[in-house]
């Protein structure tokens, strides 16, 4: 386990649409265990058409962050798929697990892409571990950490659209990320 600097911090959890309480509780538990921060759950926000991606089949993560940006630390969780533009892949709607302002105070996580691997459903335990990792990763961005290239097991690695990378990571920061976050 890493030792994250102890700061009196509370992170808001904002459910976007219907979100299972056990998913919210998993994020609360992961945040408390890893960062030592308490969480408060806000009343759920009802999704509106202005946050939909071009296809109208999923949400646009950039629009979510812009709409629900906050001056206090906030993680938005949704069970609906989210996407962003990926210029390198020339994709206007690239499906992602999560996105966080770097640095900033707001991030979003979707449970949608965490349920499967190779088209097959994964165990509930693996799904919940993935959810915790993605939430902690996105909060890491909010705290000023960029994607890590130092150690493939570091939780701040860029998943590059693959759940396999998320599964390789540990709930852990490499020495470089650990030093950076302590600053």
Q: Is 169 a catalytic residue?
A: no
Q: How far is residue 61's CA from residue 34's CA, in Å, rounded to a whole number?
A: 25
The tokens of 158 are what? 């860029």
Residues 6+ apart with CB under 8 A from 83: 53, 58, 59, 60, 61, 93, 94, 95, 96
- Judge contact between 75 and 138, C-beta under 8 A: yes
Q: How far, in whole angstroms, is CA 136 from its chain's centroid?
A: 6
Q: How far is residue 134's CA from residue 33's CA, in Å, rounded to a whole number?
A: 15
Q: Which of these is catalytic: 26, 129, 138, 169?
A: 138
**Which residues form the catalytic set?**
138
């Amino acid at each position: 386990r890493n030792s994250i600097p102890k700061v009196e911090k509370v992170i808001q959890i904002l459910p976007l649409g219907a979100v299972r309480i056990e998913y919210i509780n998993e994020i609360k538990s992961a945040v408390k265990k890893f960062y030592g921060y308490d969480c408060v759950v806000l009343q759920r926000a009802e999704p509106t058409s202005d946050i939909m991606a071009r296809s109208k089949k999923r949400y646009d993560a950039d629009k979510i962050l812009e709409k629900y940006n906050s001056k206090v630390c906030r993680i938005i969780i949704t069970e609906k798929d989210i996407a962003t533009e990926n210029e390198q892949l020339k994709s206007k709607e690239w499906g992602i697990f999560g996105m966080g302002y770097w640095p900033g105070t707001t991030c979003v996580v979707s449970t949608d892409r965490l349920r499967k691997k190779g088209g097959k459903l994964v165990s509930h335990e693996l799904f919940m571990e993935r959810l915790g990792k993605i939430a902690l990763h996105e909060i890491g961005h909010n705290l000023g950490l960029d994607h890590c290239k130092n150690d493939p097991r570091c939780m701040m690695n860029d998943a590059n659209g693959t759940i396999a990378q998320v599964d390789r990571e540990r709930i852990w920061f490499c020495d470089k990320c650990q030093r950076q976050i302590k600053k």
